[in-house]
Structure 1
Amino acid sequence: MATLQKIRNRGVFIGIIIGGALFAFIAGDALKSGGSLLTNSRNEMAEIAGESVNIRDFQNRFNHNIEVAKMMSGQSSIPSEQMDRLREQTWQQMVQEMVMNVEYDELGISVTSDELFDMVQGRNIDPTIRQMFQGQDGTFNKEQVVATLQQLINAPKGTPQKNYWLNIENAMTTQRTLAKYNSLIQKGLYMPNAMVKDLATKGSKKVDINFIVKNYNLIPDSTITVSDSEIKEYYNEHKDLFEQTESRRIDYVPFLVEPSTDDYKATEKWVADLKSDFAAENNNVQFVELNADTDFNPLYLKKEDITNAELAEFAFSAKKGDVTDVYSEGDSYKLAKINEVKMLPDSVKARHILIRPVNGDYASAQAKADSLKTLLNKGARFDDLAKANSDDQGSAVNGGDLGWFKQGQMVLPFSEAAFDSKKNEIKVVLTQFGAHVLQVTNKGKSVKKVQLAIVDRKVEASNKTIQTAYAKARTFAGNNLSKEAFLKAVSEQNLQRRTANLRRDTKNIPGLENSRELVRAAYQTEDMENVLMNNDQSAVFEFGDKFVVAVLSDIKEEGFALVNDVASTIRREIRKEKKAEQMIAELNKNSQGAQSLLSVAQKENLEVKNATGVSFSSFQIPGAGIEPNVISTASLLEKGKISAPIEGNQGVYMVLVTNETTDEVTDNTVEAFKARLEQGYQYRTNYQAFQALRENANVVDKRYKFY
């Protein structure tokens, strides 16, 4: 049906609406798991607003999203990375749907059937529908919408076309409902005129200042004592500063699987044994493709292009068909054979006419290209034919001119034909893009180049080597099952211990290939006394070329950090406060009766610095950094008056305003300022309103049990 193809053609746009937008949920009834889920905690993957979410319900929604993605893209399968994104998208959809539907019900927000009709066929066409049924001239075709709906009504129940149309309608409904909610919140925002005018007035004043700063590092930390009781008191008074997200930390020992000396010897022998067959082979390309780790490289190289000096010398002194002895590069052993020797330029300039095949009909494309070649041979102008016939619109406007290009910049058949052509020779070349009418219009100077056929084999660990590494890891784990024994053995055996901080959604641990299993293991236990176990109840995890033994070393729950965990941070803050108290007292003493900031600076052995254009809305002070206390004091300070000492982030400041200017604040200025403020708040509304609702819903994420 044409509708399905149209949906596919608009796949990117609709995909954004359905899957990409923050609140674009796949339609469906809210989960109705009921109390039965509470009796089956094994299948519970989340709890949202007090409602249990069953893994089967999530998987059904996820499978539905997969089918939508397949239909939108026309693909029969979804790549693994996209699957991960779809799984995360499905989770966000479910959370947002369950959280927001409660709000919609309480507020009486919904989209009626009349509104939906208006979005599809009425006066207020939804952008999704307008995009789908927009003609080439940009006009919306309402008749086509009606015809498509009639086809869908008559289509059997459950057909893909009908399901996807309903999917689009539900997505539009969700978007419209959300828009109503956001509008309701935004309408409740109000900026009082008096507050706006006060902010605008403060922001209109700009001052130039001189200042001195007594940095905290002038007082050694060792001279400031902080007691445990002070730390506890500070923690209790500033507890909100120590809110933390949940996380876990593991310590692990990697046992690297590295090729042994025997593995190197075996690989070298394997390559050496190929030499006689390679030398006798006529089809070098095929031989490389069948035996080498790396595909055949068709490029022709100058001597200076070959980084291996010995290979370069061989390539330009031997003859076609000669083969090197075995040599090593990096972690591979290689044989090289001279496949071809040619005189070729470094670059050519060419033009082309591209005829794309219609419905895969390359024969017709080539026939048309051959006809154009005939016309050119009879004297037709290349640029005229290119402008009239080429499907490569980027070059067609320039008469098909592609400019200068080097080997490897074009697809292989096109590149080979271009570099093998004589100047002004016309050829027809077939590539995956279609049939090209090719003409080389200029060539660089030809030099000797060689094409090498290289057979390489990477040295990899043998099964014996892998088993040896595994046995080492298994022995270590078996002898050190407890955390205490694990840490002691790591120290005594001088093993490499690594640490990783994990979140529930951590996909991979840096340095460990496909290590999600270890993250899940860390979250499926509360045991911090023994080594972690994998799904097979083994203490040895395998990730790529590493075997790993790990212990869970720390658990941080969401909420407030323990006082002991943040004691060092609190100690630094208290030290800074005590240093500030000392410095303020010293500055107050040395500034008594001072007639200038310079005299205070001289007594304190400090430098007088300056900054210009500081206002109440400034983010930082040039030469001082982010100092909000200093900025606010300076913007309100009377010109010519030295400020009292100001406690800042980097030290204690004293400021003198040397000049001030004030922009005129008119009613128009205030209105414009108010509009900017309101717009900024409205932009934040959509995100922050949902975040507040989500926090209130107490979302408990247990996906780590299953993925």
Structure 2
Amino acid sequence: MAILNSIRKRGVFLIIIIALALFAFVLDGVINSKTGGGGEIENTVAVINGKELSREDFMGKVENQQRALGPGANTARAVQMVWDRELRTVLMEQQTEALGMTVSQEEINEQLSLVLANNPTFQDENGLYSEAKMIEYVASIQGNDPASRQQLQAWNDFIESTREGILQSNYMNMVRGGLASTLAEGEQQYRFENDKINIEYVYVPYTKIADEDVTVSEAEIGQYIKANPKQFEVDPLVDIQYVMFEEKPSDEDIEAGKAEVASQLDAFAAAEDAGAYVGENSDNSYNDNWVLESNLPVAIKDTILNIPDGSIYGPYQVDNTFNLSKVVARRQLADSAEARHILIPLGLNPTDSITRTPEQARFLADSILTVVKANKSKFADMVTQFSGDPGSIEKGGKYEWFAYNRMVAPFRDFSFEGEVGDMGVVETRFGYHIIEVLGQKDFKPAVKVATVTRNIETTEKTLTDIFSTAAKFEDAARNGEFNTVAEDGGYDAKPVNKIGELDANIPGIGDNRAIINWAFGDESKVGDVSRFDVNNSYVVVQLTRKSTEKALQSVAEASSIVTPILRNKKKAQKIREGISGTTLQDVASSQNEQVKSASALTRSNPTIAGAGTEPAVVGAAFGKAAGESTSLIDGENGVYMVKVLAVNKAPDLENYATFANTLNANASGAISNRIFEALKSAADIEDNRAKFY
């Protein structure tokens, strides 16, 4: 309190000091931004083979992408989508420019005639695409007002996108033409699929030697990683561990919340209008719907149907609230209903193309009701002539057996609370409905419940205590061993590994670029500890590993992949050392195995019954003539020796074009992504996105 009083007394003086400090900070930034001494503002998101992507342009596209994705769109997702699109565009542009490829105006016009064919703005009186209409549209958006400039920019972007699409399509077609499969390749594919062999074989499985009998050292794993770097290269990564301190109510806060709700018992019980009382005294509004037993909240389900009208159940806790529930009314209610309707919408009715005011729509609805009440057989005709609900016109306006909460409230109430056969006019946000109730079934008990809800508030004292606890833990973790401090305090230190520089989601925390940016920041080093405000919580984070350059996986990370490979190699060597003899029978006898047979093997499906998929073994067998044997072969699942019993070549064909065409089709489907991946792999890319997001 003394400190607060001191601040109040010196308020003006402190404001002046803070203002001067901020001014100095801003001035320093302005000066440095204009100098070349390392203070220049970074304005490049990426450099792709020398082509710069500017920060302003990239951020604008990200904002547009987020708007396109809708409310609550994930920024990281939008960034990645824009990045993939921009990277592909730049790489393809560089390729087409290097080849001197261009797009003619005729090609653009032809593409526009296809893309805009179904847009009424660009159609003539016959509903066909009109180039004159397109020219007319472009002329109409040439104004200097903001709306016209925005439309013109959108149109120019569309034309540029169309041009890029044509260029990329032409490039892909050119590559496809160069990769066309020949008839010789078609014949080879035919042979792979249809030539067959019958074999005898001996198979000594690797499982014959226990894993524990074969040792694979960390040094051997490390050597394998270095010998196969592309397989084990990883992008910059960090590992962290954290302890979370949630800003949640204390036991005292919970008891205070319960007492506050309990204090309303008498007033709520005496209230004649329970709905109005809830509206004035609850954190949630009153729900005037009927509720079937199956839809009642679990907390009151077993009680609320068995207490008298006007009785109150509670206080009871649901999540972070305390509640009082009062039975307002009860009845038997159908589980589902069936009705038909004629919708007279406000504004334009697509059925008869007439625009109506609310008064006109109501007058028409009442008139139609009079007609169909007098003669129900005219209902279907009236639906066809007047209804603005395309979803029910074909069924004569009928909606079959819908649940209570499916329709908007007025439509629902008329269908469920009236009687079968009732007809009337109901107003909803869609317009006026002439409704006939056709059926109701499966009646069950239902109640209307008024519930006073109070959120359990976390008091200032509790918030202060949580902040203090988090700050003390942060200080102790900086000066001690993180896990020991966490264990001593009874906290759970949660590790998160392999976080990428552009990741956004942290398991257990959620989207949080601040933590990731801190971990990858130039100032952060392994062992550093920092505290972050995250979603009504404090998170104290320690950086446990940091790799800022592309690197190879560690032995521990790659062990699960490499160990089985090296283990099987060693097992194969041991098996070979134990084999004696040169024939299948000799090998089988020396290993106590059986000589087995397999028929109709092909190279396109190299699966040996009883052994598994073995492409190397089947391929080696196809290299032998009938009666010949292979040497020992190290396969996927064990060590083999194979003898070819018969080679059954498929009959020659007059033409292998069908198989060549199949190869072309298979290659064509994936060629776009393969080309992009190849260009990306060969490109010199400086990716600075993490500096901005």
TM-score (norm 1): 0.80
Are 2:134 and 1:145 equivalent residues in the alignment? yes
Within 5 Å, which residues of 2 pair with 1:688-699?
688-699=674-685
Q: What aligned pairs does 1:642-657 form with structure 2 within 5 A after superposition?
A: 644-653=631-640
Query: What are structure 1's unaligned runs of at least 5 residues?
Result: 1-34, 533-538
Pairing 1:435–2:432 present: yes
Deviation at 1:512, TM superposition (A): 0.8
1:100 counterpart = 2:88: no
Task: Check the 8 A contact 2:324/2:451 in 1, yes or no.
Answer: yes
CA gap 1:571/1:349 in 2 versus in 1, 3 angstroms: closer
In the alignment, structure 2 segments of 5+ residues that lack a partner are 1-34, 349-355
CA distance in 1, matches of 2:343, 2:535: 45
- Cα shift at 1:212: 6.3
Q: 2:311 matched to which residue of 1?
A: 322
Letter in 1 for 2:660: K
Q: Is the alpha carbon distance of 1:528 and 1:606 closer, same or farther for their aligned partners in structure 2, counting shifts above 3 Å?
A: farther
The question of 1:187 aligning with 2:177 is answered yes
Residue type of the partner of 1:551? Q
Aligned to 2:237: 247
Check 1:634–1:36 CA distance in 2 against 1; reply closer, same or farther (3 A cut): farther
> What CA deviation, in whole Å up to 9, does each residue of 1:650-683 have, x standing for no partner?
3334567788866545244x21111121222233
Is 1:196 matched up with 2:183?
no
Residues 564-593 of structure 1: CA distance to partner in whole angstroms, max 9, x if unpaired?
Answer: 45673544432220101112343x437746
Contact 2:584 2:641 in 1 (8 A): no
The residue number in structure 1 matching 2:353 is none
Partner of 1:273: 263
Paired with 1:282 and 1:591, the residues of 2 have a C-alpha distance of 101
Say whether residues 1:334 and 2:323 are aligned partners: yes
Q: Which residue matches 1:50?
A: 50
User: Aligned equivalents of 2:645 and 2:271: distance in 1?
Assistant: 87
Match of 2:526 among 518, 526, 529: 529
| Cα offsets for 1:49-96 (capped at 9, x unmatched) | 235544334335545x46xx87xx8xxx96240765544443334433
- Mapped partners of 2:451, 2:631: distance in 1: 77
| Partner residue, 1:3 | none
Distance 2:36 2:649 in 1: 69
The percent of aligned pairs where both chains have the same amino acid is 24
**8 Å contact kept, 2:186–2:658:** no
Per-residue CA shift, 1:391-410, capped at 9, x if unaligned? 22332212112111221122
Cα distance in 1, alignment partners of residues 126 and 646 from structure 2: 60
Residue among 377, 381, 385 paired with 2:373: 377
> 1:422: which partner in 2?
419
Q: In structure 2, how many angstroms separate the alpha carbons of the residues matched to 1:293 and 1:635? A: 78
* Aligned residue identity for 1:325: G
Q: Give the corresponding residue for 1:490.
A: 486
2:59 corresponds to: 59
In the alignment, the residues of structure 1 paired with residue 111 and residue 584 of structure 2 have an alpha-carbon distance, to the nearest angstrom, of 75
Corresponding letter in the other structure for 2:45: M
* Post-superposition CA distance 1:346-375 (Å, at most 9, x none): 222211122222269444333322221111
- Bigger mean CA deviation after superposition, 372-381 or 623-632: 623-632
8 Å CA contact retained: 2:326, 2:449:
yes
Q: Distance in 2 between matches of 1:106 and 1:654?
A: 53
* Residue 127, structure 1, aligned to residue 94, structure 2: no
**The structure with more strand, counted as a fraction of residues:** 2
Q: In structure 2, do the counterparts of structure 1 residues 333 and 348 end up closer, same or farther at CA, with 3 Å as the change threshold?
A: same
From the superposition, tell whether residues 304 and 702 of structure 1 become closer, same or farther in structure 2 (CA, over 3 Å): closer
Confirm or deny: 8 A CA contact 1:348 1:418 kept in the other structure. Answer: yes
Closer, same or farther: CA 550–197 of 1 in aligned 2, 3 Å: same
The one-letter code of the counterpart of 2:214 is I
Matching residue of 1:551: 542
- 1:185-584 aligned within 5 A: 185-206=175-196, 213-226=203-216, 230-231=220-221, 233-289=223-279, 291-294=281-284, 296-303=286-293, 306=296, 308=298, 312-319=302-309, 321-358=310-347, 361-381=357-377, 382-444=379-441, 446-459=443-456, 461-481=458-478, 485-493=481-489, 495-500=491-496, 501-525=498-522, 527-532=524-529, 539-556=530-547, 559-561=550-552, 564=555, 568=559, 569-584=561-576
CA distance in 2, matches of 1:197, 1:512: 57
Single out whichever of 146-155 and 571-580 deviates more from structure 2: 146-155
The 1:274–1:578 alpha-carbon spacing in structure 2 relative to 1, beyond 3 Å, is same
Whether the 8 Å CA contact 1:200–1:665 is kept in 2: the answer is no
What CA distance in whole angstroms lies between the structure 1 residues aligned with 2:125 and 2:519? Answer: 56
- Aligned partners of 1:649 and 1:697: how far apart in 2? 35
CA distance in 2, matches of 1:467, 1:143: 70
Give the distance between the partners of 2:597 and 2:277, measured in 1 at CA.
74
Separation in structure 1 between the aligned mates of residue 37 and residue 665 of structure 2, nearest angstrom: 44
How many pairs were matched up?
A: 647
CA contact (8 A) 2:293 2:301 kept: no
The letter for the 2-side match of 1:418 is S
Alpha-carbon distance in 2 for matches of 1:429, 1:620:
69
Map of 1:683 onto structure 2: 669
1:639 and 1:292 map into 2 onto residues whose CA distance is 88
CA positional deviation for 1:558: 5.4
Distance 1:414 1:626, change over 3 A: farther
Q: Secondary structure at the match of 1:427?
A: strand
2:102, 2:167 within 8 Å by CA — same for their partners in 1? yes
Distance 1:680 1:36, change over 3 A: farther
Q: What is the rounded CA distance, in whole Å, between the counterparts of 1:115 and 1:304 in structure 2?
A: 62
1:89/1:643 Cα in 2 relative to 1: closer, same or farther (>3 Å)? Answer: same
Paired with 2:372 and 2:37, the residues of 1 have a C-alpha distance of 76
Alignment of 1:133-172 (within 5 A): 133-134=122-123, 139-153=128-142, 159-172=149-162
Q: Is the 8 A contact 1:202 1:616 kept in 2?
A: yes
- Structure-2 change in CA distance of 1:342 and 1:562 (3 Å): closer
Shift of 1:143: 4.1
TM-score by length of 2: 0.82
Q: Secondary structure at the match of 1:589?
A: coil
Distance in 2 (CA, whole Å) between partners of 1:590 and 1:294 is 85
Higher alpha-carbon deviation: 94-103 or 629-638: 629-638
Structure 2 CA distance for partners of 1:205 and 1:280, relative to 1, 3 Å: farther
Q: CA deviation at 1:561?
A: 0.6
Deviations 1:205-231 (A, max 9, x none): 356777665443432334334456644
- For the residues of structure 1 that align with 2:593 and 2:286, how far apart are their CA atoms? 69
Aligned residues: CA RMSD: 3.7
Could you tell me which amino acid in structure 2 is paired with residue 59 of structure 1? M
Partner secondary structure for residue 81 of structure 1: coil
Q: What amino acid is the match of 2:571?
A: K
What do the CA deviations read for 1:329-349 (whole angstroms, capped 9, x no partner)?
455322111122223222222
